[in-house]
Amino acid sequence: MDSLTQAALGAAIGGTVLGRRLGRRAVLVGAVLGTLPDLDVLIDYGDAVANVTQHRGFSHSLFMLAGLATTLALLSRWLTPWRDIGAGRWLAFFGLCLLTHPLLDALTAYGTQIWWPLAVRPAAEPLVFIIDPFFSLPLLIGIIIAIFTGNGRRAPAWGLTLSCVYLVAALGAKSLVEHRLEPVLAERGLTAAPRMVQPTPFNILLWRATIVDDEHYHETLVGVLDGSRPPQLETFSRGAALEPVAQDTAAGKRLDWFAGPFLRYESVNLGNRQTLMATDLRLGFPGFHPFNFALAERQSDRWQPLATTRQLPAGEGDRRDAMRHLVERMFAPDVGFCLSDHIASHWVVRVPPRCG
């Protein structure tokens, strides 16, 4: 999630756990703790793929944050004026403020390395978009009331409760969407194919499903308000012929570990050089993927890995128009919103009749 939301979550937890005893201090310290893991964005690894795949790494590790929380709890127990607060309460304060950060991040599409340093894929079980005002606003309202009134517990606790209810509602919405998607995948023989179902920007009413099938990937939008109308898959090329080339580079292997198999490959002409580009299909929106990476350049008859990978610009489509149509699609299932309208035509393989 965005850093403002993470700070608000930490503040709300801090107020709920120690607001009665510390008042505003609990809210303010909680806000600092809540945003602390995101300070890793200040580290420049000198390489675009490394910067993206190392983010939400060691600083988001449950092991690292649990150790930090324990250390801070012990220090606070003996070195602060509030020695009447038990070690268990201090541990709950620091532990919840710190550990909920990576756990919330893991509920978005961007991978979070909660088990670092273990060599496992980043966790990504999307329930909310990376920015969701309906989750964030109750937290922000609660902590603003706490700061102005001096009552550090009641309002943050209510805000935290409402945001947790929203997550439960998101889980219910996702389960409903996946239930509607299953018959379509079974009919196409895609039941076992890798898939990611995630909310579209800023809401939990309209969901995007991405299903990878070897050389192709399929996209569809499924709404909570769709009723009995079955989802319709649009099929696109994944550029799989270039995947072995990418896998021959260290950056390509790292990117596959981070996002695979939700990657698309393309040979593009940049500065009169043929460049191998990899796109993370999970992030952004079809036609507006911000994570595009130059991995290699073609020299003579061979691909040569770039010494330093580069992040390339996102698509040039009309984002405002796409968002307007998304909102219309959210509340009107019969609106003919086609993802293929926002994707370059050379990627399109198959679209349903309503998009043709």
| Residue range 11-50, pLDDT digits in tens | 999 999 999 999 999 999 999 999 999 999 999 999 999 9
Give me the pLDDT at residue 215, please.
94
**Alpha-carbon 274 to chain mean position:** 31
Q: Which uninterrupted H or E stretch holds 217?
A: strand 216-223
Q: What are the DSSP calls for 30-50, one per residue? A: HHHHHHGGGGGGG---SSHHH
- Residue-by-residue pLDDT tens, the chain, 356 positions: 999 999 999 999 999 999 999 999 999 999 999 999 999 999 999 999 999 999 999 999 999 999 999 999 999 999 889 888 999 999 999 999 999 999 999 999 999 999 999 989 999 999 999 999 999 999 999 999 999 998 888 999 999 999 999 999 999 999 999 999 999 999 999 999 999 999 999 999 999 999 999 999 999 999 999 988 889 999 999 999 999 999 999 999 999 999 989 999 999 998 889 999 999 999 988 888 999 999 999 998 899 999 999 999 876 566 777 788 888 888 887 766 788 888 888 899 999 887 75
Q: Is 177 exposed, middle or buried (0-12, 13-18, 19+ CB in 10 A)?
A: buried
Task: Determine the Cα–Cα distance for residues 24 and 198; give it in Å rounded to an integer.
Answer: 36
Chain segment 174-228, per-residue pLDDT in tens: 999 999 999 999 999 999 999 999 999 999 999 999 999 999 999 999 999 998 8
